[in-house]
Amino acid sequence: MSVLVGGLAVWATLRSANPKRKINWWVRSNTPLFERLAGDGAMLTVSLGTARLTHPRIIELILSCSGDRDVTAEMFYERKQIKFDFDHAVAAVLDVSSDPADALLPGIDKWQELIPGTGGMQRGGLLVEPSLLRRGQTVTVTVLIDGEEKPVRCVQFPLVDVEQSNVRPGSP
């Protein structure tokens, strides 16, 4: 019996000294605003300011702090951001929300760059600034892009002692 109690004490000590921090991210939706109209010559257009969007698409990106402890801003190595690549420039960040609603929202910025040899085509995505993500907090970012559906990739995850997973918690 004392061996069992001793083993549990060692496990509890190691667990508390090395808490598991984890961020899950996934795309809840990647939906075109409209399908191509065929046949009758009707034309539906979407514009943002003066820019006409030929393939407008709404993407909902979810970040969930699903580990045992909070993720703090200090855990972002050299204060680098988490970087997501959508393979198309982000036309607009439409919404950023959090559950619970009283949790601080991380700073969200767009990034974009020219793709060499394409005559001016751009790719881009989102940057998540170093910030506190509370245990159990879920952040939803909704963006508008102009382009065909491509997989969203996390291309920079500079967090120290934080595991990342690109699946929804509880998914098989």
Q: What is the mean predicted confidence (pLDDT) over 37-65?
A: 82
Residue 102: what pLDDT?
Answer: 95
Say if 133 falls within a structural domain. yes
* pLDDT band, residue 34 (cuts 50/70/90): confident
Query: Are the C-beta atoms of 136 and 65 separated by less than 8 Å?
Result: yes
Q: Give the domain extent around 125.
A: 21-165
Please check whether residue 13 lies inside any domain of the structure. Answer: no
* Residues listed for the chain: 172
Section 14-21 average pLDDT: 63
pLDDT of residue 54: 85
- Is 131 within a domain? yes
Q: What is the pLDDT of residue 11?
A: 47
Does residue 171 form part of some domain?
no
Q: Is pLDDT of 93 > 60?
A: yes
Provide the number of structural domains found in the chain: 1
Report percent pLDDT > 70 for the chain: 83
- Which residues, other chains included, contact 152 with Cβ-Cβ below 8 Å and sequence gap of 6+? 27, 30, 59, 61, 84, 85, 86, 125
Residue 172 has a pLDDT of 65
Residue 161 lies in a domain: yes
Give 1 or 39, the one with higher predicted confidence: 1
Is 2 a domain residue?
no
Asked whether residue 84 is assigned to any structural domain, the reply reads yes
Element (H, E) at 99: strand 90-99
pLDDT of residue 41: 60
Is the pTM higher than 0.75? The answer reads yes
In 100-168 the beta strands, taken as DSSP E runs, fall at 108-114, 122-128, 138-146, 153-156, 163-165
On the question of pLDDT at 47 being above 90, the answer is no
Token pair for 102: 């009283």
What mean pLDDT value characterizes the chain?
86
Question: What's the pLDDT band for 114 if we cut at 50, 70, 90?
Answer: confident
Better-predicted residue by pLDDT, 146 or 6: 146
Q: Is residue 39 part of a domain?
A: yes
